[in-house]
Amino acid sequence: MSRPGFDEVVLLTGFPSFGARKICEEILLSPKTLVHAVVRPQSTAEAMLSLDILPLEQRRRVNLLEGDAAAMDLGLSGKELRTITQEVDRIHHAAEVSYIGVDRAIAEQTNVGGTREILEVAEACSNLKCLVFHSTAAVSGDRTGFVREEDLDKGQGFRNVVEETKARAERMMRQAMNNVPIAVVRPAILVGDSQTGEVDRFDGPYLLILLMVTSPPDFAMPLPGRGDSPLHLVPIDYVAKVARAIGLDPRSVGRTFHVVDPRPLTARGIFELVARAGGRRLPRGFIPANLTKALLRTPGIDRFSKSPRAFLDALGTPVVYGTANTDDILAGTGIQCPPFETYVERLVEYVQVRLREKREKRLADRELEDPLG
């Protein structure tokens, strides 16, 4: 763990989660940047596999540190912690629990406890330029209408423990902004990589894709709800690019940034694009809110999408996110959110391939169990 030869040293938590991995890949595009990635012991093998896909030159600039972002001193040894606090220029705190069905104790430990720990480490860093806290636009909870980046506590209700604990974590970050250089990044609903379609799990908006690709080709799947509100989707690779740019810009300190599609489509518009990409008939009509429970019992959906109810809540929440701070930082960078219609086919194709692999595996397992059957 030595700094010579590097212009920047970054501490990254949450690795090798999908989001943290994408952030790491973006950071490594700077050829003289070293990344210290905190990895839980049970995730070491997965972390090594994630590094194996990187070019050798980039792989050599990632130092895996066995620890836990929610543990005291991030679970690091005294020597590791001293080196970190002396070397690190920037921190990307991406460790979080975002699965809607998570147990409250786990959400509080990771989302709130982890925030407390990273703040203590940040305060001990002698040369810290920016702590980028990866939050979510969902801290707006059930608010409707226009939400500014400065808004946090506006009397909103929270629909699940993830929204609640991420909002509590943001409060802690805001309270620490007088002592620590902090930038808060709030992405909208995440979807896969706009270039490859890759995603870590089929959740949230993937309910639409799953419903579409698993339905009969000649069946026009109705939309759950009227679908006339904007559906704020944003691809993970764009979020990683924006987060990196925010972390590098000294004007970001003390500010909050919504990372959203500046021209969001309505839920109906997205549903129609998914239908076309999946070779299905366009949806006709809609299912009223009181009938969505039947939709959630569609065979096979529960095996893939773990929080359909939370996503259906998002479908019916008419909200618009302001982006003044993000627009300011991104001006002149060339970083732009790709329109959904330019990458929807990649998202759908990725889902179709994974579903086909699952079916083939089930068939193969069945044949192994009963080779004469």
Query: For the domain that residue 176 is a member of, what is the CATH number?
Result: 3.40.50.720
Is 331 contained in some domain? no
Res 372 pLDDT > 70: no
For residue 1, count CB atoms less than 10 angstroms from its CB and return exposed for 0-12, middle for 13-18, buried for 19 or more.
Answer: middle
Q: Compute the chain's Rg from CA coordinates.
A: 21
Domain boundary among 259, 277, 296: 259
Whether 281 and 187 map to the same domain: the answer is: no
pLDDT interval class at 366 (50, 70, 90): confident
Clarify whether residues 220 and 237 are in a common domain: no
Largest Cα separation within the chain, whole Å, is 71
If one counts the domains in the chain, the total is 2
pLDDT tens per residue across span 28-54: 999 999 999 999 999 999 999 999 999
Confidence of residue 285 (pLDDT cuts 50, 70, 90): low
Instruction: Note the pLDDT of residue 232.
Output: 94
Question: Is there a domain that residue 369 lies in?
Answer: no
What integer pLDDT is reported at residue 289 of this predicted model? 53
- Same domain? For 149 and 219 the reply is no
Query: Does 126 map to a domain?
Result: yes
Q: Are residues 23 and 127 in the same domain?
A: yes
The DSSP output letter for 188 is -
Q: What is the pLDDT of residue 206?
A: 86
226 lies in the same domain as 114: no
Which of 81-95, 116-130, 164-178, 281-295 shows the lowest mean pLDDT across its residues? 281-295
Contacts of 57-65 with C-beta under 8 Å, sequence gap 24+, read 57/31, 58/25, 58/28, 61/6, 61/28, 61/33, 61/34, 61/35, 62/24, 62/28, 62/35, 62/37, 63/1, 63/34, 63/35, 63/36, 63/37, 64/15, 64/37, 64/39, 65/36, 65/37, 65/38, 65/39
Residue 99: per-residue pLDDT = 85
pTM, two decimal places:
0.91
Q: Mean per-residue pLDDT for 343-363?
A: 92
Of 259, 275, 301, the one marking the end of a domain is 259
Residue 288 has pLDDT above 70, yes or no: no
Based on the domain organization, do 347 and 245 belong to the same domain? no
Quote the pLDDT of residue 280.
Answer: 85
Same domain? For 182 and 145 the reply is yes
Residues 251-255: what's their mean pLDDT?
98
Q: Are residues 136 and 214 in the same domain?
A: no
- Pair 153, 108 in one domain: yes
Tokens of 309: 């109810």
Token pair 């949806």 is found at 283
pLDDT of residue 304: 44
* Same-domain pairing of 182 and 76: yes
Query: How many angstroms separate the CA atoms of 213 and 197, rounded?
Result: 15
pLDDT at 144 over 60: yes
With CA atoms as reference, report the closest residue to 344 among 150, 194, 217, 243.
194
- Give residue 102's domain range: 8-191+232-259
Q: What is the mean pLDDT of residues 211-235?
A: 80
Give 185's pLDDT tier (boundaries 50, 70, 90).
very high
pLDDT tens per residue across span 16-31? 999 999 999 999 999 9
Question: Residue 69 domain-assigned?
Answer: yes
The predicted structure's pLDDT at residue 290 = 53
pLDDT value of residue 217: 77
**What's the pLDDT score for residue 216?**
78
Residue 2 domain-assigned?
Answer: no
Q: Is residue 109 over pLDDT 70? A: yes
- Going through 56-129 in order, the beta strands assigned E by DSSP cover 62-66, 90-93
**Residues 94-104: tens digit of each pLDDT:** 999 998 888 99
Average pLDDT, stretch 159-163?
A: 93
pLDDT at position 299: 53
Q: Stretch 222-245: mean pLDDT, rounded?
A: 89
Over the chain, what is the mean pLDDT? Answer: 90
Higher-pLDDT residue of 208, 200: 200
Q: Mark which of 240, 259, 278 sits at the end of a domain.
A: 259
Q: Tell whether 21 is covered by a domain.
A: yes
pLDDT value at residue 333: 97
Residue 3, domain member (yes or no): no
pLDDT over threshold 80, residue 310:
no
Q: Give the pLDDT band (50/70/90) at residue 331.
A: very high
Decide which of 319 and 289 is more confident: 319
d(CA 368, CA 373): 10
| Whether 59 and 72 share a structural domain | yes
Q: Which of 150-164, 165-179, 186-200, 284-298 has the lowest mean pLDDT?
A: 284-298
Residue 332 inside a domain? The answer is no
181 and 248 both lie in a single domain: yes
Res 363: pLDDT: 80
Over residues 197-223, the mean pLDDT reads: 81
Percent of the chain with pLDDT over 90: 73
